[in-house]
A and B are shown apart, each in its own frame.
Chain A
Amino acid sequence: MRDARAWTHAALFGSLWGAAEVSLGTVLKAAQVPLSGMVMAGVGVLCLLTARRLQPSPGVCMAAGTVAAFLKVFSLGGLIVGPVAGILAEAALVELAMTATRGSALGALIGGALAFAEAPLQMVFTVVVITGPAATAALARVAQRLASGLSFPAASPVAVVGAVATLAALIGAFVGGISWRVAGRVARRLGASP
Chain B
Amino acid sequence: MRVPGWLLAAAAVVLAFLPHSLAPALALVAAVTSALLLEPAALRRAWSPRALVLVLCAAALAAAAVGWSSAPAKGVAVGGAVLLRFLVLLLLTALAARHVDAEAVQRMAARVGLTRLGIALGLALNALPHLGEAARDAWTALAVRGRRSRPRATDLPKLAEILLAHTGRVAEEAAAAAALRGHRSLVRAVPPMAARPLVVVVTGRPGAGKTAAMRGVAKALRERGVTVAGFIQVPVWDAGGKGGYLVLDVASGEQRTLAVKVGTGRGEHGTPFRFEGAGFAFARRAAERIATVLVLDELGPVELRGGGHMPAVRRALAREGIAAALVTVRPALIPSLLAEFAIPAATVVNVEGNRDPVPSLLAALAPVLPALSS
Contact = CB atoms under 8 A, between A and B. Distances in A.
B329 to A, nearest CB: 12
Contacts of B265: 104-105, 180-181, 184
Contact of B168 (A1, A9, A15): A9
Interface in A40-83: 46-47, 50, 52-57, 63, 66-67, 70-71, 73-75, 78-81
Contacts of A135: 62, 65-66, 78, 82
Contacts of A188: 264
A119 to B, nearest CB: 18
A12 B165 contact: no
A113 to B, nearest CB: 17
A3 B65 contact: no
B17 A129 contact: yes
Nearest to B90: A78
A8 B178 contact: yes
Interface stretch (A88-96, A137-145, A157-165, A167-175): A137-145
Contacts of B82: 130-131, 135
B152 interface: no
Contact of A71 (B62, B125, B174, B269): B125
Interface in B123-153: 123-125, 127-128, 131-132
Nearest to B89: A81
A137 B65 CA distance: 10
Interface string B336-357: 1001000000000000000000
A18 B120 CA distance: 13
Contacts of B19: 132
B93 A186 contact: no
A38 to B, nearest CB: 15
A194 B65 contact: no
A14 B188 CA distance: 22
Contacts of A75: 97
B16 to A, nearest CB: 9
**B interface, over-half SS:** helix
Contact of B174 (A8, A23, A56): A8
Interface in B144-176: 157, 160-161, 163-165, 167-172, 174-175
Interface size classification for chain A = 35 or more
Given A4-B336, A14-B120, 4 more contacts: A7-B119, A142-B69, A184-B264, A194-B300
B117 A66 contact: yes
B117 A8 contact: no
A11 B171 contact: yes
Interface string A176-194: 0000111111111111111
B121 A70 contact: yes
21 contacts: A1-B116, A4-B178, A4-B179, A5-B175, A5-B336, A7-B119, A8-B171, A12-B171, A12-B174, A15-B124, A19-B131, A66-B117, A71-B125, A75-B97, A80-B93, A130-B86, A135-B78, A138-B65, A138-B70, A186-B165, A193-B206
B48 interface: yes
Contacts of B271: 192-194
Contact of B175 (A4, A70, A78, A129): A4
Contact of B124 (A4, A6, A14, A131): A14
B371 interface: no
B229 interface: no
B243 interface: no
Contacts of B231: none
Given A12-B127, A19-B132, A71-B125, A189 B62 contact: no
A130 to B, nearest CB: 6
A103 B270 contact: yes
Contacts of A103: 270
B186 A8 contact: yes
A189 B165 contact: yes
Nearest to B233: A194
Given A3-B306, A180-B265, A9 B65 contact: no
B160 A105 contact: no
A148 to B, nearest CB: 14
A134 interface: yes
A58 to B, nearest CB: 11
B70 A182 contact: no
